[in-house]
């Protein structure tokens, strides 16, 4: 690799003679610059931002532009087949109204895909936060306390690792199927979050183990800082780099699991829709209305693709030693 010109700082003499303050490069600033150099990661960042923004404001914009909301069913149209291909109006002519076509009931597919994106991203982010909360606390406590406690806590993680957890999640979701869409969503957060914290706990524990014998921890102990405070104020912030990287890679994983569960009918319930449940609806009509599956499916694949590239890029940027290229 060629030396980074930005990393070569101004010589101290010029700094002194000009009386300027030379700003050091922080870890984050450095990582950000490395990230921007990675074309695929920047592509990922841009696409993720675009998809997030359009999911957030898209449905409102569509409503303003065409009058279609995600659940608006044109009841005036009494024909049996109301699913039109992309860019086609009810009369079979070219039209801008439905760029992604319509679903069986005649609802605008674009509005539905964007609203599905809201749910998919929301589930991905919230469940990742749940798994962060559990994983970081669990790993930090196990790592810092150490000894027998650590041994037992990590054994539990080992046992949970070897369980076919998706199978258990399906049993959980199908047995406690909630009557309301919101209830099912909360159940989904708990189910997804509570199974995806294991790797996070291992990563944080490893970090804490290597940090806990350093001077700053000893200094904190010597000045009488309480154990919980040492763990959460002194150790956890220092594990942030790997935690952020892993969290970025957890989001697409959870979104994929959510889609998988919704596809099987155990996830998000109507009237809410996610990319997984839209694809599940679409697959029924794959032979005649392929766009009903292709649009939610491809949008989702593009999002996961970008999130994965972004996560990989972040890992390379925050932890240059991990780099394999």
DSSP state of 322: G
- By C-beta, is 68 or 291 nearer to other proteins? 291
According to DSSP, the residues that pair with 102 across neighbouring strands are 108
Q: Which stretch binds other proteins (CB under 8 A): 55-63, 183-191, 205-213, 308-316?
A: 308-316
- By C-beta, is 246 or 266 nearer to other proteins? 266
- By C-beta, is 162 or 213 nearer to other proteins? 162
Stretch 286-305: interaction string toward other proteins, x if CB under 8 A: xx--x--xx--xx-xxx-xx
Q: What is the largest CA-CA distance in the chain?
A: 82
| Secondary structure percentages of the chain, helix, strand, coil, to 5 | 70, 0, 30
Following DSSP, what letter does each residue of 186-225 receive, concatenated? HHHHHHHHHHS-HHHHHHHHHHHHHHTTSHHHHHHHHTT-
- By C-beta, is 90 or 265 nearer to other proteins? 265
Backbone Cα Rg of the chain: 25
- By C-beta, is 114 or 307 nearer to other proteins? 307
DSSP state of 1: -
Residue 7 C-beta: closest distance to other proteins, Å: 22
Burial class (CB in 10 A: 0-12, 13-18, 19+), 294: middle
Q: Which of residues 6-65 bind other proteins (CB under 8 A)?
A: 40
Stretch 160-189: interaction string toward other proteins, x if CB under 8 A: --xxx-xxx-xxx-xxx-------------
Q: CA–CA separation, 54 vs 299, rounded Å?
A: 12
Interacting residues toward other proteins by CB under 8 A: 40, 159, 162-164, 166-168, 170-172, 174-176, 252, 256, 259-260, 263-266, 276, 279-280, 282-283, 286-287, 290, 293-294, 297-298, 300-302, 304-305, 308-309, 312, 324-325
């Amino acid at each position: 690799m060629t030396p980074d010109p930005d990393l070569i700082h101004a010589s101290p003499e010029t700094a002194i003679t000009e009386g300027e303050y030379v700003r050091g490069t922080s870890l984050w600033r450095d990582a950000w610059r490395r990230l921007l150099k990675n074309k695929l990661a920047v592509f990922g960042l841009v696409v993720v931002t675009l998809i997030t923004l359009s999911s957030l404001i898209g449905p409102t914009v569509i409503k303003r532009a065409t009058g279609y909301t995600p659940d608006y069913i044109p009841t005036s149209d009494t024909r049996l087949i109301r699913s039109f291909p992309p860019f086609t109006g009810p009369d079979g002519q070219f039209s801008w109204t439905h760029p992604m076509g319509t679903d069986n009931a005649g609802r605008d597919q674009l509005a539905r895909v964007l609203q599905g994106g809201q749910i998919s991203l929301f589930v991905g982010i919230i469940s990742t936060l749940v798994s962060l909360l559990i994983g970081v606390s669990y790993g930090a406590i196990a790592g810092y306390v150490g000894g027998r406690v650590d041994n037992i806590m990590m054994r539990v993680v080992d046992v949970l690792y070897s369980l076919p957890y998706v199978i258990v999640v399906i049993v959980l979701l199908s047995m406690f199927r909630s009557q309301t869409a919101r209830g099912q969503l909360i159940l989904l957060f708990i189910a997804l979050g509570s199974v995806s914290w294991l790797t996070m706990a291992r990563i944080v524990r490893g970090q804490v183990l290597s940090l806990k014998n350093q001077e700053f921890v000893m200094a904190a102990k010597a000045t009488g800082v309480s154990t919980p405070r040492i763990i959460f104020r002194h150790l956890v912030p220092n594990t942030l780099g790997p935690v952020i990287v892993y969290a970025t890679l957890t989001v697409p994983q959870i979104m994929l699991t959510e889609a998988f569960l919704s596809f099987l009918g155990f996830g998000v319930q109507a009237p809410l829709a996610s990319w997984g449940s839209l694809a599940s609806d679409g697959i029924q009509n794959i032979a005649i209305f392929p766009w009903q599956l292709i649009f939610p499916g491809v949008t989702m694949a593009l999002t996961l693709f970008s999130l994965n590239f972004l996560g990989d890029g972040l890992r390379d940027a925050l932890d240059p030693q991990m780099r394999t290229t």
